[in-house]
Structure 1
């Protein structure tokens, strides 16, 4: 697979990306993607009702409108300014509601898309399932581990699709990276280093017709776990996926060390997740320095994959002979010091080799996951493996919060719902 395979505009995830990704390892690495590729056909579009038309909800609407098997059939938000902005994105005459129950009672939809604050996810999922609807819900799944399990159990009992918004599982770069890791290209994976660093307060201005808890819900403990549920969930899913395992325990430290503005959630977290065989995921997230941004480093005995950057690196890249390098320097008119003698020890600085590309797609993978969801709804069957990945990622993020709060290393729960 090379960059040409990913030279896509709108020719389609189903038609090109997975076709380029087929072969040994893909079904095991991403069974949901393989199942989606086997479907997608034109015909009646799956009718989605979107609840929550804030920034994220509107981004989802824009991606749904790009799909070829889904449509936005209704929107809902209890905050009038957000609802008005949502209306501007959908065709005139699209039903809009200020009350979620009213949208469910009105019928006319096949599934619900939930893009509301975290503490509402479970109750809104339960209501949709009870109304006979399929559910696509933003990550993290819910505010508590018990509610995450409850969502899985209720969906299975209702025989409805429950899909969680982990778009990296539909990203061509990540799919290619996972396939190559599974094929052994970077050797035995023993550590994942992941971070999501920003330099902003995460606090939004509050209009006169709203409350701080309504707009800045991410900063309140009863509504969110902050960095752990809004950011870390993404990368813990990636770590579990590449490790092909679940953590055995987690330890960590969290603090409010910079933004002293009355928030209740940590603005700086550092955690270590242990995996079988002594392997580890090291995760950090903070809100006052963006130098290292959002990244994952999948580290194996033979190489490293950095999927956010779309690169794969070898631990033993082909060396350029010194004389050949000197010849190139002379030809290009470059001057550099020639090492004749010096210190006997040099620090082991980061390797600066360019690596090789993993490919990149010219679209938002959020659109691709909705095409997969649309196909799952049409067939009445969830995409295999997808909910399991999402559930364990949410559990890991919430367990990490508990470990930081308690100041103790916590074992992976043994009473989780079977997925």
Structure 2
């Protein structure tokens, strides 16, 4: 079988650290084109991977012979570029958050459906070994009834991570739409949905800008989430954790407490009701810190879905459900009401 021809649109940090090296390591694909509005950036990456260079995504879609694209651009371009690529007959892997509104997300899903192409959203936390193991423990009933959860994702901010540093699009509302909640919070809404196997039906939140003087998007958020079976918990997303990155989750169950990514060695610790502790050393979670750049498994799963013609693990519909929770959090903060995701209605 001939190799899948891949184009990467947007050559910033997420493309450089995740998409490009993981495509390059995959024997089933070939990187044939790259695109960035900063031409020098695209030329550098193109030279590194032997790919054609574009500074306009529309030209790339017209001229490059490709099968699929990764969309690694600022958030406000996720939907328009993904839809254009799908309409051009290309499979799409889009970075998170998938869109800036529910209407955009629905349009992406419809474009994939009407063109018979794959649309996958890059929520990599579903592939973290400790998260996969925790989901199995919950699914098998070993943890018993789930009562509550706490999940947090925070670091000092995108200044060191983003290709443009403190001048990054991450801090500009017209390009990012949303700050720490879009960068980090949406990862955790997707993770909680994945772990519990339930939808979040009510959201209350405080979403603030308190740490960054160069920004007009949120940098600190705390949310209370309630699932369809009545599980309640908290989610925190922040760009104000000035020292070590935090990326942990605790699940409180009837028979055990699951501690995920709290310990530097044991990525999952199960504390049973009878006093027994079981510690799992499953490998490090992916992070922006030194030594935290292992495979995300996102590229691998996207490629597999195309080669085997199967539904992507994180489909457009799945990406939209996680986005809806974030949109509900924004609405809750504005209205000071509890909001039902996906409905534009206040919970009674």
Shorter-chain TM range is 0.7 to 0.9
How big is each residue's C-alpha offset from its partner over 1:227-252, in whole Å with a ceiling of 9 and x where there is no partner? 11111111111101122111111111
Aligned mates of 1:205, 1:316 — CA distance in 2: 41
Aligned mates of 1:163, 1:206 — CA distance in 2: 23
User: Please, which of 123, 126, 150 is the counterpart of residue 166 of structure 1?
Assistant: 123
Shift of 1:135: 0.5
Contact 1:186 1:314 in 2 (8 A): no
The residue aligned with 1:325 is none
The residue aligned with 2:4 is 46
Aligned mates of 2:245, 2:10 — CA distance in 1: 31
CA gap of 1:187–1:223, structure 2 versus 1, over 3 A, is same
The residue aligned with 1:312 is 269
User: Please, which of 347, 359, 371 is the counterpart of residue 282 of structure 2?
Assistant: 359
User: Please, which of 40, 57, 60 is the counterpart of residue 15 of structure 2?
Assistant: 57
Question: Could you say what secondary structure the match of 1:248 adopts?
Answer: strand
Q: TM-score, normalised by structure 2?
A: 0.86
CA gap of 1:404–1:199, structure 2 versus 1, over 3 A, is same
Question: Could you say what secondary structure the match of 1:89 adopts?
Answer: helix
Aligned mates of 2:228, 2:333 — CA distance in 1: 21
Q: TM-score, normalised by structure 1?
A: 0.72
Aligned residue pairs, count: 330
Aligned mates of 2:240, 2:184 — CA distance in 1: 15
The residue aligned with 1:135 is 92
Contact 2:221 2:236 in 1 (8 A): yes
The residue aligned with 2:236 is 284
Aligned mates of 1:292, 1:236 — CA distance in 2: 18
Shift of 1:385: 6.0
Structure 1 residues 167-206: aligned runs within 5 Å: 167-200=124-157, 202-203=158-159
Stretches of structure 1 that go unaligned for 5 or more consecutive residues are 1-42, 320-352
How big is each residue's C-alpha offset from its partner over 1:300-340, in whole Å with a ceiling of 9 and x where there is no partner? 11112233352131233547xxxxxxxxxxxxxxxxxxxxx
Stretches of structure 2 that go unaligned for 5 or more consecutive residues are 285-291
Q: Using CA pairs below 8 Å that are at least 6 residues apart, which structure has the higher relative contact order? A: 1
Contact 2:203 2:224 in 1 (8 A): yes
The residue aligned with 1:383 is 312
Higher strand proportion: 2
Which structure would you say has the larger Rg? 1
CA RMSD, 1 decimal: 2.6
Contact 1:372 1:383 in 2 (8 A): yes
CA gap of 1:402–1:216, structure 2 versus 1, over 3 A, is farther
Q: Is 1:257 matched with 2:210?
A: yes
